[in-house]
Copies of this chain bind each other. A is one copy, B any other.
């Protein structure tokens, strides 16, 4: 029976029952974490043999004769540029390989445009006092963190099942102080939505008032499938080539959730104009990133097919976890009409909307019962979810057994808060 159709007596009875369940759970002194998109121990193990690839017997010389142990090659070794170019579906000349973190490359890119002209005739963003950035919501807290750090006013754009609401985006970019938008175009964080062809085409056709508008295309989950379905995403650069907008997108990806989160390889792709500006910074910033680690990755995978085969192992580990989360939501919350969510086909999260006005309380009660969730509101700029309903569930880190317990806590708390909310209404 739907909670909203219960009368007060029924709600009170349900509240008593749930409150007892919650207290029983609390007595278990759990310590579980579903807060971040962190790979689990089993996932780390499947890349363990990568650590043998570059040993003391290994030749560390690239095909073109450069010693990877020494200084140099600022934008990455050619074989790794090729591999990451294949991942992103671009040509190697568009690619720069960085350190271990695509987040770092995104931060560096925004930082670059803060103090250097981001496009011909445009002032550095530091000088744009009312600078703004578009943030599809729910979205990734670390994206919002970067633009907040650099003093952008963040304007939310609602997500639809096809990606950001492009009617809204097209309207907002008429403001010249709007300088860019954060996108996770495939298996979006947290909803797992892949942008439709129409969405990508409309991005490619954007005519922002700001000549230095940038689409931050964070392809974090580019090959991170949870099903056997080939979920396709149009290539943003191909589309922008057609529309003459090649300077709009800057794409990012990494192997953080392919090999080791702390020791992967990150890369970015951009037009010549954008790359000229970005590399003109990097050439002062570093002599080159860790090329032994690039070589380690290239030799471990061979090519994109090798990387995709590796991703199937991740899928096999993660699929049961995501199934469990979705089943718990379906069985424990759906019958009461107090939840909505997308079933993700890839990525690292399940985005759960609990009853409006209860998300913060749910997260707090879970915490009191020993289950850490992503902070409520974290999927919104400034941590402010206007409906207080969205919670990002990260099912990857716990064991299946722990995840099951954690989801039991979560569903009890979601129900308890919903009933309490209705009783107070």
Contacts and interface: CB of A to CB of B under 8 A. Distances in A.
A126 B150 CA distance: 13
A262 B103 contact: no
Nearest to A291: B262
Interface in A63-115: 67-73, 99-101, 103-104, 107-108, 111, 114-115
**A interface secondary structure, majority:** loop
A284 B52 contact: no
Given A145-B284, A146-B284, A284-B146, A290 B70 contact: no
A38 interface: yes
Contacts of A261: 69-71, 287
Given A58-B51, A115-B111, A115-B126, A44 B71 contact: no
A174 interface: no
B55 A284 contact: no
A52 B73 CA distance: 24
B38 A48 contact: no
Nearest to A149: B284
A281 interface: yes
A133 to B, nearest CB: 14
B41 A67 contact: yes
A8 B410 CA distance: 95
Interface in A28-57: 36, 38-39, 41, 44, 47-49, 51-52, 54-56
A119 interface: no
A100 B108 CA distance: 16
A285 B103 contact: yes
Contacts of A36: 71
A288 interface: yes
A13 interface: no
Nearest to A99: B99
Contact of A285 (B39, B41, B107): B107
A95 to B, nearest CB: 18
Given A48-B56, A70-B44, A149-B281, A100 B262 contact: no
Interface of A: 36, 38-39, 41, 44, 47-49, 51-52, 54-56, 58, 67-73, 99-101, 103-104, 107-108, 111, 114-115, 124, 126, 142, 145-146, 149-151, 256, 260-263, 281, 284-293
10 contacts: A38-B71, A41-B67, A44-B67, A51-B292, A99-B99, A103-B285, A103-B287, A108-B285, A114-B126, A142-B284
